[in-house]
Amino acid sequence: MKRLNVGIIGAGRIGKVHAENLAFRIPQANPLVIADVNQQAAAAVADSCRIPAVVADYHEVLENAEVEAVVICSPTDTHARIVGEAARAGKHIFCEKPIDHSLEKIDQALVEVARAGVKLQVGFNRRFDANFRRVRQAVVNGEIGEPHFVHIISRDPSPPPISYVKVSGGIFLDMTIHDFDMARYLIGKEVEEVYTCGAVRVDPEIGKAGDLDTVLIVLKFEDGTLGTIDNSRKAVYGYDQRVEVFGSQGAIRTENNYPNAAVISGAERIHRDLPLNFFMDRYTESFVTEMQAFINAVLEDKPTPVCGEDGRIPVVMGLAARKSYDQNRPVRLAEITA
């Protein structure tokens, strides 16, 4: 069996998830080296995942002739630069979302990728979740006829620290970006226009940082389908991740995932435990499936399932959503040029 030699850049929250999956869940992957400016963090992940080499400077990963592909898990503001450098070094690239907050930087990185002819996959893992895949399949198979509405509910269990909010790029580029990708993925069409209502209902500090914590976005697709995305930074009952597509011949919806299926019935009420609490628990399998898809795409020389353009368009949607909120009017994506 051919195995792909992989270098991992960034050993934080998501770097650890990908390292574990590459090491233990994907037999065709061979993680050779992990880089992190925090060498202790890299060493800890290397140790638990039996990765033979640890470096502080990611350039050493790019210069390593044995490394065929890199998995970029460092902070967002490093992605575009590393994507460009990795492409020039001839490495195939898996890059965590988003590629950048700036379209100019994304475009420069995508030019480098195209010029080098390497593969790029962007980390929109939710496409690989079994529930959402089934919804997409129903749309593709025509099981619900022609789609009329898509509704996406995506609420976090609690807001991130204010220090993170300040550098996150704002709710649209940090959180809604996954839902923008989901909307395009489920319907299989492009969004032409967005209209945003936003509020600060969870924590005034988020408002003071210039961000929102409660947003509702109306989407108009090119084929006339309408959509909504409902985001909150705080759902007291846990991670709330549901979608519905309604069409001419019916509807398909998915509910939350639970740690168990037990239902407790009493004299006063019937209840159950809360949903899986956050993305690490809820989307565990999707992270494995997306990485397996990347490794397969490289080994079998097929297109990656989430390409550079798929990484770029949700950023355009995020910028349009913020502009819509700021100007209190519908904004066409064509207005967003940089």
Ligand X SMILES: NC(=O)c1ccc[n+]([C@@H]2O[C@H](COP(=O)([O-])OP(=O)(O)OC[C@H]3O[C@@H](n4cnc5c(N)ncnc54)[C@H](O)[C@@H]3O)[C@@H](O)[C@H]2O)c1
Choose one: 10-18, 130-138, 148-156, 262-270; the region binding ligand X (CB under 6 A): 10-18
- The reply to whether 176 sits near ligand X by the rule CB under 6 A is no
Residue nearest to ligand X (CB): 12
Of 37, 33, 40, nearest to 63 by C-alpha is: 33
- The reply to whether 123 sits near ligand X by the rule CB under 6 A is yes
Distances (CA, A) of 118 to 73, 234, 305: 18, 39, 14
Tell me whether residue 287 or residue 325 sits nearer to ligand X (CB atom): 287
Q: Which residues pair with 244 in a beta bridge?
A: 151, 253
- The reply to whether 131 sits near ligand X by the rule CB under 6 A is no
Tell me whether residue 138 or residue 229 sits nearer to ligand X (CB atom): 229
* Contact yes or no for 183/126 (Cβ under 8 A): no
Q: Which of 4, 6, 8, 14 binds ligand X (CB under 6 A)?
A: 14
- Minimum distance, C-beta of residue 48 to ligand X, in the bound complex (Å): 14
Q: Which residues pair with 219 in a beta bridge?
A: 194, 227
What is the C-alpha separation between 194 and 234, in angstroms, rounded?
23
- Minimum distance, C-beta of residue 12 to ligand X, in the bound complex (Å): 2
- The reply to whether 175 sits near ligand X by the rule CB under 6 A is no
Instruction: List helix spans (H) across the chain.
Output: 13-24, 39-49, 59-63, 76-88, 103-116, 130-141, 162-167, 171-174, 176-187, 204-208, 279-282, 284-299, 308-327
Q: Which of 36, 129, 156, 179 binds ligand X (CB under 6 A)?
A: 36
Rg value, the chain, Cα? 20
Q: Which of 18, 91, 92, 97 binds ligand X (CB under 6 A)?
A: 97
Tell me whether residue 37 or residue 236 sits nearer to ligand X (CB atom): 37
Phi first, then psi, for residue 263 (nearest 5°) are -120, 125
- Minimum distance, C-beta of residue 335 to ligand X, in the bound complex (Å): 25
**Contact residues for ligand X, defined by CB under 6 A:** 9-15, 35-38, 41, 58, 73-76, 78, 96-97, 123, 125, 279
